[in-house]
A and B are shown apart, each in its own frame.
Chain A
Amino acid sequence: MITTSFHEPMVATMNPLVAAGDAEKRSSPKPWVLPDRALTLFYGCPEMPRLSHYFLPRILVDEKRVLYLDGANQISPLLIARFARGRGLEPSAFNSLIRIARAFTCFQLTELVRRVPKELAEFSADVLIVTALPDLYFDEDVQDRPARASFEHALEGLRELAPLPISVAVFSDATSFKTKRHDFFKKLRNQADHILKVESGPDGSLSITREKDTPLLSA
């Protein structure tokens, strides 16, 4: 049976630090929970890659595994350790559940995405987090043609993950760049199952707006 539905944009407002704790107890809506087996795109405010950290505690507390491809070079092992201690756990409890690989060029990020299936054979992650996609492909030192080709390969790599039992979350600062390669972000949006726009308020609160919600096909 195929079901379809149309979702109105949903807005949730919270303080991220509080939400990291409180959200774990909520059932709906769950802005700090990643949808299962889907590609979710988070974008909007600057420092999105840093925001990705706040999705980790809920995942790790459930002893799920995370593969984190960090194109933004923003991952903070110290913050992850703090999350663990904040929950009365040793940092090693969280550390053993995450594997991180950083990319410093768009070509490296593409290569990392393409290697995910191979990496999953060694480390069966439940969640894949990718940062700085497509931000890293905006590098002016990289010519348009190779940047475009590399980005297409990365998108293809993400498409190939769809049949696998893994949630994919992309955290992007793309909208804060002045670039001629705007279409990269559009393509990523088209490919994403869910799109959440994150905006920060003047009081430090965050609002998360659901802009796209594609339900999974179910038999």
Chain B
Amino acid sequence: MTLWLIDRNQSHYRLTDSFAPAFYVSGDHERLVQLREAAQHQCTELRTRFTERTDLWLNAPRTVLEVSVLCPTDFMGWGRWVHKRDSRLQLYNSDLMVASLYCWEKRIFPLAYVEVESDDEGKIQSIECRDDEWALNYEMPPLKIMQIRLAGLSRIDPTHGRRAALEIEMDGTCWELDEAGEPPALGFARLVKRQDPDVILSEWGDSTILPLLRQQAERLKFSLPLNRDESASVQQSKGRSYTSYGRILFKASATTLFGRIHVDKQNSFISEKCDFAGLWELARITKLPIQYSARTTTGTGISYMQMELAHRDGVLIPEQKAEPEDPKHPDELLCADRGGLVFVPKLGFTANVAELDFVSQFPSIMARFNISPETVNCPCCPDAPRIPELGYRICEKRRGITSRVVERLIVKRGELKKLQKTSPPDAALRFKLQRDSMKWLLVCCFGYTGYKNARFGKIEAHEAINAVARETLLVAKEIAENDGFQLIHALVDSLYVWKEGATREDFERLAGEIETKTRLPLAIESVYRYVVFLPSKQYADVPVPNRFFAVGEDGELKVRGLECRRHDTAPLLKRMQHEALAILAEAHDFESYSHKIEAARMVLADYQERLSSGDVDIRDLIVSKRITKEPRDYQKAGVTAIAAQQLFGSGVKLRPGQTVEYVITDSDSPVPNDRVRAFALWEGWFGYDRKKYAAMLREAFEPFILCLPKTAEEHLLTDSLTEEELKRFPLFAPLALLRPFKV
């Protein structure tokens, strides 16, 4: 194993350590004996012994053959060798990341403060962790960070044809390298050698910058010193399309280094959301290598935390998820296979509404009620307490692995929250980012119990958590209604309640009562001056959850389901909505809202004016859409398909799940190719579809006027919409006549 360490003086050290990771094989004893003989006689790289490990599902010891691999780089290869020899044998712990296994064994973690003794050749004699991954406020290694990016609009994928100068920034100094001077790869190589950064933070480094620099260096026949470790070569993995929750997504290729960290902001969910502070936190608690941690899902993080706990407990970690659903009758299946509970919102404007949220509800349920895949319907507790509705039993004799993992996360998040409140702004921000990264772990830990590839998943655990959540919400609703509150809306783990003249103290009393009864933490997310719940876009009288805007007591906005929250919306529309919302946020009640809407309309008018006069930056009109198939496979000439095919025609390789950016040029054109223009091919093109963008602006403004009486609505309709357009916007149906919007 190679370890890179950095001291407080920013000096770095490359050390090596001997390590023999082990996997376990179970099966017929005779077959295990044969395997052991084969391992002993045919190679010198393996050590074997019979030992006992615990079966997760049976909670009982099982005799297994332990196979230790003396050369860690061959670890997975030997697992495959066993499978190839005898496919009837079951392997455990055989496909785990060696770096994580090393951390587990040595009780260290990435970015930990350690004390090391080594010999003259850099071989580690002893390594001791002087740090704690559960610490809240820890010392970070003094990392030197170099940022690299392409000049210009960063959100446009450069693989679509955008070429720009390479910008490099370190310690406040910037360099710009372009093809006009010496080859950028040469300049970059010189800078890397001179500055010797510990971290390269890039934008599009994985898919574009580093591969292009490497290609150029190869062409010019010089070595690009991306790795500090010269004995290893840069690792480049391929991008791939995959399906998740019914959506086609694309995971870009990855370029990872040895002895140096490369993080691509455009290919790292966690560093995009939670910056470095979040990424460091995640790497520390999941014990995943930093570069891997930056690019993988938080689900993998939670899985590795579970596996570490299992490893410590001597529990066998299966290669694949094979634990199936328990057979049940159709009516039982119908009852169990349900999600969270939703009470549809009361449409329109409601003043003085409180949102009460169960804090990390699903993880809290898992921790509080010990719901973990192995504790549901365990064989050891036939008389254990049962889950409401479903009757599933929960083990009383052992604490579940998932419950233990989430419990620690919940506690640490809670402590960070307290620290955040009492810290100066800089530190508070860091604690917030740490908390946020843990939130993403908690968010996925529930879904992972039902995820098909989760090793410690079991559908019954998923169903049990949902059943408890439904029960909890019902109890909360009953308590609120008994206290004279009206439930305006409820969505799985949050309730929106209203009562005439209720004060914050009234809402706090209600929250306390619900918390006592349900034994789950409940907090007031906000008391809103007003909330406007919006109907479905298709059906004007059908309420939908998660399409609303609300203004807190302090004027803070909460927006869900509007265009400004979507990733594919043109920046122009987003800005218009934000500006209009900022004005509406000044309203305190329905009357002032009705006044403020006039000022908001001026914002819309201003945007419309700029649009029609051509005074809009073309970059503000870019629409981004994810393609769901290969460009050639599109049958209909939709705007996304046309843009994808334009890019494909110009030599861009696009894969399902990737995003294309385009500008609408003439949406009604009989020639499909004239309807939109891929932004990467914009050069030399001119003109955008003013009518279409104007209609999009009006549509984006609609949610703000839906709760107004018909008279105001008519005013806008007669002002700016034709009859034909009216048909396209069914939301303008006379909603106000059907429902009383003002409470």
Residue ranges of A at the interface with B (Cβ–Cβ < 8 Å): 67, 75, 77-78, 80-81, 91-92, 94-96, 98-105, 107-112, 115, 119, 123, 141-142, 145-146, 148-149, 152-153
Contacts and interface: CB of A to CB of B under 8 A. Distances in A.
Which applies to chain A's interface (DSSP): helix, strand, loop or mixed? helix
Contacts of A109: 324
Given A108-B322, A108-B323, A146 B328 contact: no
A75 to B, nearest CB: 7
Contact of B334 (A78, A105, A149, A152): A78
Contacts of B84: 145
B319 A103 contact: no
Main SS at interface, chain B: loop
B329 interface: yes
B453 A105 contact: yes
A145 B88 CA distance: 12
Contacts of A101: 324-328
Contacts of B319: 146
A105 B327 contact: no
Given A75-B330, A111-B322, A146-B83, 10 more contacts: A67-B327, A95-B330, A96-B329, A99-B327, A101-B326, A108-B325, A109-B324, A112-B324, A141-B453, A152-B87
Contact of B322 (A78, A110, A141): A110
Interface in B269-325: 319-325
20 contacts: A67-B327, A77-B330, A77-B331, A81-B331, A91-B331, A95-B331, A98-B329, A98-B330, A100-B330, A101-B326, A101-B327, A103-B325, A107-B320, A108-B452, A109-B324, A112-B324, A145-B80, A149-B83, A149-B87, A152-B87
A101 B453 CA distance: 17
Contact of A105 (B80, B320, B330): B320
A18 to B, nearest CB: 24
B328 A100 contact: yes
Contacts of B334: 77-78
Interface string B328-346: 1111011000000000000
Contacts of B320: 105, 107, 142, 146
B451 to A, nearest CB: 9
Contacts of A149: 83, 87
Interface residues of B, number: 24
Contacts of A141: 242, 453
Contact of B321 (A95, A108, A112, A153): A108
A96 B328 CA distance: 10
Contacts of B87: 145, 148-149, 152-153
A102 B331 contact: no
B697 interface: no
Which of B324, B325, B326, B330 lies at the interface centre, i.e. has the most chain A CB atoms within 10 A of its CB?
Answer: B330
A201 B81 CA distance: 49
B92 to A, nearest CB: 14
B63 to A, nearest CB: 20
A111 B325 CA distance: 10
B459 interface: yes
A110 B87 CA distance: 14
A119 B321 contact: no
Contacts of A99: 327-329
Nearest to A79: B330
Contacts of A123: 327
B93 to A, nearest CB: 16
A153 B333 CA distance: 27
